[in-house]
Amino acid sequence: MIDPSDILSAKLLIVDDQAANVLLLERMLRGAGYSCISSTRDPEEVFELHQQNRYDLILLDLQMPRMDGFQVMNRLNEIETSSYLSVLVITAQPNEKVPALKAGAKDFISKPFDLAEVLLRVHNLLEVRLLSSKTKRLYEQVLAQQRVSERLLDNVLPHSIVERLRSGPGVMADKLTEVIADSFLDVTVLFADIVGFTKFSEGVSAEALVGFLNDIFTRFDRIADLRGLEKIKTIGDCYMAVCGLSVSALNHAEQTAHMALDMIEEMERFNKQHKLELDIRIGISTGAAVAGIIGKRKFFYDLWGDAVNTASRMESQGLPGRIQITDSTRYKLGETFVLEKRGTIEVKGKGEMSTWFVNARELPRVLSNQTPMNPVKI
């Protein structure tokens, strides 16, 4: 509902070349409680006055010399393209009413003026005008809140899942109550853990600890966006991401290896900036996985399967500053990585596995006298 005080404080403009008509209308409106009333007897002043004041209602005489009311409305429609413009035409000719409405007028009052008619039509038009403005503001607020909600979802869920929730009938919030699960035959999973972070955390304040961890993971997030990986979650000082959830990520193993190398380089930059000596241990595996949304409150997107478990083992049984991968990932990599065979290790829950280290993106152009242990170009 519209507050009566808002209607009475609306800005009005009276346009009539007859001084008597202007004076009479002003008296009627002020007597009813309207306080923001302007007037002009020159129709050519209307446009500048409206651009300066943005009137809520213009009472416009149709019959004026030099420029009639129809011409004024045409000019007003040219400058008023985005908001609701109320024009109440004043006419003594019944045959002008329909053309005036077609020209953009919202209503009309007849000469000679009837007090009750003038006040009723002015009140009704102002109520519609203010309701229109209020509805528009509420709609814009709803859109703004929706954009915030969608940005939050984009930060929580993979883009493909958010697009699925947006598409089709129904409210997005209702769709989150449905089971959302997908099977993937071939994805590449990455786990990274900050070596010695628990011991490091004992010597710093809570604020500094969270600040350092946020800085590191924010850097990793930027790399994931660049390389086309989906960050799944962080658990303490452990970071998990996956590539291959999108049909376009056919080179998911290569992109994941690139990200792992980027992460090691980024940790070196972080250490140099903060004068620290933190290190990371990274594990990667390729294989089948299942992904889906867990929970109805504080929900999150998670990943399960052999590739996830094995990637986690590759990280936990790896070495600081190294990227350990399985044979399944090695077979997927292109020819732009330098790999080092680690050999066969006993992997918890998997038995003996042949694993490799990713050392670099390509062979050095000039080889030094020192040769890396068992270098292999894949």
Reduce the DSSP state of residue 199 to 3 states and report it.
helix
If asked whether residues 94 and 213 sit together in one domain, one would say: no
Q: Cis bond leading into 169, ω under 30°?
A: no
Please check whether residues 61 and 128 belong to one and the same domain. Answer: yes
How does pLDDT run across 160-191, given as a tens digit for each residue? 666 666 665 555 555 555 667 788 899 999 99
127 and 177 part of one domain:
no
Owning domain of residue 103: 4-137
* CATH classification of the domain holding 317: 3.30.70.1230
Q: CA-to-CA distance for 254 and 318, rounded, in angstroms?
A: 19
Bridging pattern class, strands 181-195 and 279-294: antiparallel
pLDDT tens digits for 51-98? 899 899 999 999 998 899 999 988 888 876 555 678 999 988 888 888
Same domain, 184 and 118: no
Predicted pLDDT of residue 367: 45
Whether this prediction's pTM lies above 0.75 is answered by: no
> Could you tell me the pLDDT band of residue 372, with boundaries at 50, 70 and 90?
very low
Residue 53: which CATH number? 3.40.50.2300
Residue 143 lies in a domain: no
Which of 67-81, 107-121, 137-151 has the highest average model confidence (pLDDT)? 107-121
Is 155 domain-assigned? no
The three-class DSSP label of residue 22 is helix
Query: 228 and 128 in one domain?
Result: no
Handedness of CA 104, 107, 111, 113 (dihedral sign): negative
How confident is the model at residue 310, as a pLDDT? 95
Same domain, 18 and 121: yes
What is the C-alpha separation between 51 and 312, in angstroms, rounded? 66
Distance between CA atoms of residues 53 and 162, nearest Å = 44
Do 182 and 285 have their domain in common? yes
Over residues 232-272, the pLDDT tens digits come to 999 989 999 999 987 656 789 999 999 999 999 999 999 99
Same domain, 263 and 185: yes
Which range, of 186-190, 245-249, 298-302, 326-330, averages the lowest pLDDT? 245-249
- Compute the mean pLDDT over every residue in the chain, rounded to the nearest whole number: 85
> Which of these three, 94, 122, 137, is where a domain ends?
137
The yes-or-no verdict on residue 319 having pLDDT over 90 is yes
| Structure tokens belonging to residue 119 | 């006040």
Residue that finishes a domain, picked among 86, 121, 137: 137
Q: Using alpha carbons only, give the angle 295, 298, 299 rounded to the nearest 5 degrees.
A: 40
Q: What angle do CA 267, 269, 272 make, to 5 degrees?
A: 110
Residue where one domain finishes, among candidates 88, 113, 137? 137
Q: How many domains does the chain have?
A: 2
Q: Residue 158 falls within a domain, yes or no?
A: no
* DSSP-assigned letters across all residues of 217-282: HHHHHHHHHHHTPEEEEEETTEEEEEE-SSTT-TTHHHHHHHHHHHHHHHHHHHHHHHT---EEEE
